[in-house]
Structure 1
Amino acid sequence: MAKVTGIGGVFLRARNPERLTEWYRRHLGVPMSDGGAITFHPADAETVSFALFADNTDYFGEPGQRAMINLRVDDLPALLAQLRGQGVEVLPQTEDSEFGRFGWCVDPEGNRIELWQPAPGM
């Protein structure tokens, strides 16, 4: 039987793609092309998750947000402080779990973004 072997990409609709591309470059350091794309080439040891949530979850933020990006980061506390200093909306809570540390920010179009510093070995 044919099957899915991994996540091929994450795609967002944007009201202003050029502005959103620049925001992801400047605030999160995502080296996006002028066309608003990047292809990551993760190390073999990295993981990618695919999860389904109940329609009424508040985990994604606003009820109209149908998907959420989870971005792997190298230093969550430093990045959150940097984002706050740049005037980016950063949620006040963080979460520590066996999977690592999590924090959240919101892009200029209202998309909640999960920032994840993986636990060692993940």
Structure 2
Amino acid sequence: MKRVTGIGGIFFKAKDPAALRAWYQKHLGMNVEAWGGMAFPWAGPDNPKGEGVTIWTVFDPDSTYFAPSTSPFMVNYRVADLHGLVALLREEGCNVDAKVEESEYGKFAWVMDPEGNRIELWEPPPGQ
């Protein structure tokens, strides 16, 4: 079974998210959108049409999106078969969150690594 197929996103907290977003926009030319981040389009072997994206987002310092991790960052990894991988990770004794979310943006699940970093697993919707 193919496990991770790419990086879907990089998320991190900042003391002053608005100022940091403005810095990235001004100095690195990143088109930060109203939702707090931007999407980098790309193509890869699992996405020959080039419809995939990597998301970059700055979160407020008090965001609980990474909880129960206390780490100031979270990486989102693209996967080919979310339900299959989650089942396999549970069999292997990994600390996998009980919830799985499914929406028009794809399927999401979370696992904690041995150092307490929350990892987001994402199976994109078909065609992405």
TM-score, structure 2 normalization: 0.61
Matches within 5 A, 1:1-122: 3-4=29-30, 42=44, 43=47, 44-62=50-68, 64-122=70-128
Greater strand share, 1 or 2?
Answer: 2
SS in 1 for 2:84: helix
4+ runs deviating over 3 angstroms: 4-8
Query: Unpaired segments of 5 or more residues in structure 1?
Result: 9-40
CA RMSD for the aligned pairs? 2.5
Worse overlay, 43-52 or 67-76: 43-52
% identical aligned pairs: 38
Q: Cα deviation per residue 1:39-93 (whole Å; 9 max; x = unaligned)?
A: xx83532211112222222211246311100000000000000000000000000
Query: Unpaired segments of 5 or more residues in structure 2?
Result: 1-25, 32-37
Is the 8 Å Cα contact of residues 81 and 123 (structure 2) preserved in structure 1? Answer: yes
Q: d(CA) in 2 for partners of 1:109 and 1:77?
A: 24
TM-score, structure 1 normalization: 0.64
How many pairs does the alignment contain?
90
Q: d(CA) in 2 for partners of 1:3 and 1:106?
A: 33
Is the 8 Å Cα contact of residues 76 and 101 (structure 1) preserved in structure 2? Answer: yes
Is the 8 Å Cα contact of residues 56 and 63 (structure 1) preserved in structure 2? Answer: no
Using a 3 Å threshold, how does the CA distance of structure 1 residues 120 and 7 change in structure 2: closer, same or farther? closer
